[in-house]
Amino acid sequence: IREIAIAGAGMAGLHAAESLREAGFEGRVTMIGDEGHRPYSRPPLSKEFLTGKGAPASVELRDDAAFEALDLDLRLGRRAQRLRPAERAIELDDGSAVAADGVVVATGARARRPDTALDGVHVLRSVEDAEAVHEAFKTEERVVVVGAGFIGAEVASSARSAGLEVTLLEAAPTPLTRVIDPRVGGVFTELHRDNGVDLRLGVGVTGFEGRGRVERVRLSDGDTLDASLVVAGLGALPNTEWLEGSGVGLAEGTGGVLCDEYCRTAVPGVYAAGDIAAWPHPRYGGLMRLEHWTNAGEQADTAVRNLLAGDGAGTPYTPVPYFWSDQYGMKIQLLGQAAPADTAEIVHGSAEDRKFVAFLGRDGMLVGVLGLRSTPKVMRYRRLLSERTTWEGALAEVNPRS
Ligand code: FAD
């Protein structure tokens, strides 16, 4: 392999480039990114970036010297338009082509947008999105946040600390229902309410009204809210459109690019990593696609090592998934996987104290560890997840005094 193209200049793309050079790859590495920026950090965008009164916190991941040392052919502000495996090339939106005998697909995901073109309705994915919300926080007194998933919940928290009144709308019966048992999710209901958020559960949005700019939000319960600022956290859609017709398969259900356990797509020499990649994780069954910061880096490292090793060699990608969120000054951490139907049992602390570690179980196995304000304890149980531990076996490892 002499030329490798990385499509997508996010966390996965950056790690792919770094891993290539660390592995001693000396050929040309082209990185194509449709944002006009080098890879930057998204997690702060819904957190400290929004709360600062002055200039927003920096989201830079690496300095100039680090990028220089990587010796990349950086194509920023350019979109990968089409993957042409037969010609071993990626076609860009300016009509040019990038030659590549190896490709890392790292085009991530984009925010799902609400169905309106009105001004004042925002999503949060890019630094520009965050700048617009940060500006609006300085002048608006109220915000309606749609969706109490992680992004919506963090925006609500940041808006409160910036002094805004917040209405948080969630169609499900508790916040974070897509990922967490509703009994544990109840803690987060109280967390929002105690911090002065008007949290409305079981309520969807049926439309936005206004002339040019949003003025009102119509709700499924018949109510109408006055609103000149709305932030929607409605989940993300993988950026797979440019791969149409390339032979790279897409995953049913989870969406994203279908990979095997080596991060290989259906097209030889084309690997995928980060928010866009779906793959069979042997410990969890079915396909997994993670929208987690740590995963983007780790999966890109594995994808690149396997790309360089070639078919028949390489390492399966079997991480212990890790995710964190910061809300109202509290850190929430999830190791492993969580689904609403999982059994949940608090093994340290208590929901009342808002400081706990909960085990999540499925089919007699430990599948996840969820913590609130309990960082060292959560991390101690990582081994149980990497070793595949039964529910009973996991409970036997708990030392209540530790
Ligand atoms: P991305 O970051 O989406 O990068 C992909 C890049 O490719 C983007 O720049 C995209 O514009 C570009 N691209 C797309 N299509 C093309 C194309 N055709 N051609 C060229 N370029 C293209 N995770 C956590 O674990 N904890 C958190 O607290 C947390 N907070 C978050 C807060 C926010 C506001 C957001 C948006 C995400 C957060 N995440 C968090 C998730 C985390 O940021 C993502 O998992 C991570 O960014 C994924 O990296 P990626 O490189 O796979 O994709």
All structural domains of the chain with their residue ranges: 3-43+59-110+238-309, 113-232, 329-396
Report the pLDDT value the prediction gives residue 212, as an integer from 0 to 100.
97
Counting ligand 1 atoms within 8 A of each CB, the residue from 126, 293, 299 with the most, and so the one to mutate, is 293
Count Cβ atoms below 10 Å from residue 194 Cβ, excluding itself: 10
Whether 341 shows a pLDDT value over 90: the answer reads no
Whether 311 shows a pLDDT value over 80: the answer reads no
**Please, which pLDDT band fits residue 220 given cuts at 50, 70 and 90?**
very high
Q: How far is the CA of 372 from the centre of ligand 1 (A)?
A: 24
Burial of 20 (0-12, 13-18, 19+ CB in 10 A): buried
- Identify the helix (H) or strand (E) that includes residue 365: strand 365-372
For ligand 1, which residues put their CB under 6 angstroms from it?
7-13, 32-35, 42-43, 45-46, 79-80, 106-109, 124-125, 151, 239, 242, 274-275, 291-294, 296, 323-325
Task: Tell me, yes or no, if the pTM score tops 0.80.
Answer: yes
Counting ligand 1 atoms within 8 A of each CB, the residue from 14, 15, 34 with the most, and so the one to mutate, is 34
Instruction: Report pLDDT digits (tens) over 179-204.
Output: 677 667 788 999 999 999 999 999 99
Locate tokens 């994203």: which residue? 256
- The CATH number assigned to the domain with range 113-232 reads 3.50.50.60
- Do domains 113-232 and 329-396 share one topology? The answer is no
Instruction: Report pLDDT digits (tens) over 275-289.
Output: 999 999 999 989 999
Q: Taking the chain, what is the end-to-end CA distance rounded to the nearest angstrom?
A: 51
Report the pLDDT value the prediction gives residue 383, as an integer from 0 to 100.
96
Q: Would you state the torsion angle of the CA atoms of residues 68, 69, 70, 74, taken in this order, to the nearest 10 degrees? A: 10
| Alpha carbons 84 and 240: distance in angstroms, whole number | 14
Pairing type for strands 330-336 and 270-272 reads unpaired
CATH superfamily of 3-43+59-110+238-309: FAD/NAD(P)-binding domain (3.50.50.60)
The β-bridge partners of 349 are: 356
Q: How far is the CA of 156 from the centre of ligand 1 (A)?
A: 20
Instruction: Report pLDDT digits (tens) over 65-97.
Output: 999 999 999 999 999 999 999 999 999 999 999
CB half-sphere exposure, 299, CA atoms < 13 A? 37
The β-bridge partners of 83 are: 90
Instruction: Report pLDDT digits (tens) over 12-62.
Output: 999 999 999 999 999 999 999 999 999 999 999 999 999 976 677 789 999
Q: How far is the CA of 152 from the centre of ligand 1 (A)?
A: 16
Q: Which two tokens stand for residue 292?
A: 């987690």
Report the pLDDT value the prediction gives residue 175, as an integer from 0 to 100.
84
| Alpha carbons 50 and 229: distance in angstroms, whole number | 14
Report the pLDDT value the prediction gives residue 402, as an integer from 0 to 100.
67
- This complex has an ipTM of 0.99
Strand ranges inside 112-164, DSSP E: 121-122, 142-146
Q: May I ask the CATH architecture of the domain 329-396?
A: 2-Layer Sandwich (3.30)
| Alpha carbons 50 and 86: distance in angstroms, whole number | 45
